Structure 1
Amino acid sequence: MHERVAVRGPAAGSLPILLAVVFVDMLGFSIILPLLPFYAETFGASPAVVGLLVASYAAAQLVGAPLLGGLSDRFGRRPVLVLSILGTAAGFVLFGLAGSLTVLFASRVIDGLTGGNISVAQAYVADVSEPAQRARNFGLIGAAFGLGFVIGPALGGFLSRWGYALPAFLAAGMATLNAVAVWIALPESLPAERRRGGATAAPRAGGRAATAEGAEDGTGRPQAAAGATTSRPPSAFRHLWAGDRAGGLLWLRFYFALAFVTFQTIFALWSQYHLGLDAEKTGYVLGYIGVLIVLVQGGLVGMVARRFREERVLVTCIVVMAGGLAAWAFAPNVPVLLVTLVPLAASGGVFRAVATSALSAAVAADEVGAALGAATSLESLTRALAPSIGGVLLEHYGTWAPGLFGTAVLVLLLPYAIGALRRPRPAGAQAGARADAEGRRTDPPAAEGGVGA
């Protein structure tokens, strides 16, 4: 059997560099997370205003993520990564210098507009990954994010002993160095001929060139005719109403995220009211969740993606998450809680990586950044909606209500998911599907596009 490689193309050796960049990016972001409510209160912010401050970042990312993804399709991944990271650094500097609540809001909006670069990093992975290894590599990106999130809040809490500005300035310095590292060490992954508005790729050594509309170039994604230029609308959101496979995957990402993010955003409040945990103990549990995410994204995703069809994996994750949220809702003590968090972290991590991989393969090569930006934007929308939904449910119905809300969303999503995943793949994605199948050892054959038994 031939040996499979994880990445390809001129930027094939750049994945470790990108993982380091993503880790530092998330480390800088998460350093200021535990400081936000306390810093805002020094300017007289009420709990409601603190909630708006948190939501302002998600709202700005809702706008910024698809713009950054689309720009990376047109101008390349590296310059957009550099500019977005520098924007994040500017937001951190403004955060540290904030002398009023208005400036604090401005810093979060700037960071949100430029902080949607996760979609650009994911598009970079899609550019350089072989189809059979794409989900595994998306999992590694998730692991780098998770590791940064484990370390960042603890570091930020420690540095806050010397004031709230110091962690922000450290994060700004890290972001600046990160931008320099991207510019110097990270090669461009999207050649000019594959960018939106440019000619399609010419034949590559050992690869295939597109020769007709709907053909493929070895990436597992459809390409335009050779020498042609693209004229598709810049917004990837059109897939939501197109009834195609990409649209189905975007809707799955949105509703799955709504259920999972409700759990994430209400967890601290749930821990206080349901189990009586204080801030320190809740922090330890959140650290435990971070470790689980790193383990899942770094190891489990690749194993599952190699052995099973993506349709089966996504449907299974929805079922497991629905059961896990129901179990979380009624967890009677911390030991039981720690057990219920395992399937939640596993299904959440695997679903995100595999769904991202599937979405990147369901659109044309020059639309990957925009499509992943749209997915990030939709998830940002859930982060603006979920805290309010979870808070109202917990206050008016009880601590069990947010968990059962998530379960209900996923149960209702399941029939739609089965139908959406049966939608045909784009013509050029068939080769990608065959390449994925080569990496599996145990999953039996199934009809193209089907969910499987």
Structure 2
Amino acid sequence: MPVLFLIVFVDLVGFGIVIPLLPFYAEHFGAGPELVTMVMASYSLAQLVTAPLWGRLSDRIGRRSVLMASMAGSVVAYLLLAWAPSLAVLFLARIAAGAMAGNIAAAQAYIADVTPPERRAQGMGLIGAAFGLGFILGPAIGGVLAGHDPQDVDFLAPALAAAGLSAIAFAGATLVLRESLDRTVPPAPRLSRLVAIRRVLGGGGVARFILIGFATIAVFAGMETTFALWSSRTFGWGPAQNGYLFAFVGIIGAVLQGGAIGPLTRRFGEARLLAAGLVLIAAGLAGIAATTTVAMLFAASALLGIGFGMANPSLASLVSRGAGPGDQGMVLGVNQSAGSLARVLGPLAAGVAFAHLGKSAPFLLGAVVILPVAFVVLAIARETRGRR
């Protein structure tokens, strides 16, 4: 697992590098708030289409091959981003990158292959920690490379750095990573994408956690894609300052997921931990909306980091434990598709809210959506305890 962690970490650093850059890149081509969020959402729309394919493919040909192919494609997508001459090409670059982003479903399936169910949350926490660490270094590096001035952003250097890191991740998967797929376990029967989605979402316990994840990711993605627009209007921030803020959130999430998630899960269980994380996410979003100082912003962002650090691995573990040994890739691929759809609809809704209801509206609406979901999860946790 350490090798997989390092590969995913390097890949996610490359992904994180371009996050502070994209809103300013889109505005450079004359995009308004709605189009800015559409650029961000196009990545997830492509991921939505390809994630089940990557997941099912990893059940058949192996996790390693899928990781290698998707990382090689990411290199090409970032090179296209580096020299995008127009908004249309910028969209194309993000669509290409999203189409390759099914590697996370394969990475989660790899974890499921090599960990017993009772240690699944801790294993998924390693992937979450790689995400967190990617968001520590990625946005910070991308912000520094892009610059502090929102009127004079370097678009080339961050994209080239992302391409280079994806190339390193590809080399690591090729040279070091061993295949985890157990060939003695027959894969699930081949299903069409729609049939696979219907089968997974009709699976009761798994389906409800996928839907809870959908709501959580939609809210978080809406915040993430409108934050740069909000911070530039509230504090006059450019890519660098946004990168530092996302790095701060990433540090908190990585520390929690990398070290504390195992003991917390054993003490409280995934469902209760998830409910607490959702409450903290709602509080953090409301806190950002009410922010008047940088200190208040960092305090609210800390709540977001803690909440997402608790919720993300708990959700992944609950979904994975509801899947059979022969269809981990399929179930996790559908789960990633739901997350991708959330990253499409969440930013689009947030962009409309930002443009028509005010700059803090996406954060307030997110808090309103996520708080009731937390109480639903708490009810599920009590129901589960009552059956024991």
Same fold by TM (over 0.5)? yes
Aligned to 1:194: 185
Residues 98 and 392 of structure 1, relative CA distance in 2, 3 Å threshold: closer
Report the Cα distance in structure 2 between the residues aligned to 1:164 and 1:397, rounded to whole angstroms: 30
2:320 is aligned with 1:360: yes
Q: How much identity, in percent, do the aligned residues show?
A: 38
2:69 is aligned with 1:60: no
Total equivalences in the alignment: 380
Of 407, 412, 426, the match for 2:367: 407
Contact 2:23/2:229, CA 8 A, preserved across alignment? no
Question: Which amino acid letter does the alignment assign opposite residue 191 of structure 1?
Answer: D
Unpaired runs of 5+ residues, structure 2, are 148-152
Question: Which amino acid letter does the alignment assign opposite residue 123 of structure 2?
Answer: N
Instruction: Name whichever of 147-156 and 245-254 sits farther off.
Output: 147-156
Length-normalised TM-score, structure 1:
0.75
Of 210, 235, 251, the match for 1:276: 235
Mapping 1:304-383, distance limit 5 Å: 304-383=264-343
Q: CA deviation at 1:300?
A: 2.5
Of 60, 64, 68, the match for 1:82: 68
Residues 54 and 320 of structure 1, relative CA distance in 2, 3 Å threshold: closer
Of 26, 31, 34, the match for 1:46: 31
Larger Rg: 1
Q: What do residues 286-312 of structure 1 show as CA deviations (whole Å, max 9, x unaligned)?
A: 222122122222223122112122222
Q: CA deviation at 1:83?
A: 0.7
Q: CA deviation at 1:418?
A: 4.7
- Considering fraction of residues, name the structure with more helix: 2
Instruction: Name whichever of 247-256 and 298-307 sits farther off.
Output: 298-307
Contact 1:123/1:372, CA 8 A, preserved across alignment? yes
Of 227, 235, 248, the match for 1:288: 248
Q: CA deviation at 1:71?
A: 1.0
Report the Cα distance in structure 1 between the residues aligned to 2:87 and 2:236, rounded to whole angstroms: 30
Residues 231 and 261 of structure 1, relative CA distance in 2, 3 Å threshold: closer
Report the Cα distance in structure 2 between the residues aligned to 1:23 and 1:141, rounded to whole angstroms: 8
2:106 is aligned with 1:120: yes
Aligned to 1:179: 170
Unpaired runs of 5+ residues, structure 1, are 1-14, 198-229, 425-445
Contact 1:69/1:119, CA 8 A, preserved across alignment? yes
Report the Cα distance in structure 2 between the residues aligned to 1:52 and 1:261, rounded to whole angstroms: 12
2:8 is aligned with 1:22: yes
Question: Which amino acid letter does the alignment assign opposite residue 273 of structure 2?
Answer: V
Contact 1:139/1:350, CA 8 A, preserved across alignment? no
Contact 1:134/1:357, CA 8 A, preserved across alignment? yes
Residues 146 and 309 of structure 1, relative CA distance in 2, 3 Å threshold: closer
Aligned to 1:71: 57
Q: What do residues 406-443 of structure 1 show as CA deviations (whole Å, max 9, x unaligned)?
A: 2221233245435656788xxxxxxxxxxxxxxxxxxx
SS in 2 for 1:365: coil
Q: Larger relative contact order (C-alpha < 8 A, sep ≥ 6)?
A: 2
Report the Cα distance in structure 1 between the residues aligned to 2:158 and 2:298, rounded to whole angstroms: 30
Length-normalised TM-score, structure 2:
0.87
Aligned to 2:220: 260
Task: Output the aligned Cα RMSD.
Answer: 2.8
Contact 1:126/1:357, CA 8 A, preserved across alignment? no
Contact 2:139/2:246, CA 8 A, preserved across alignment? no
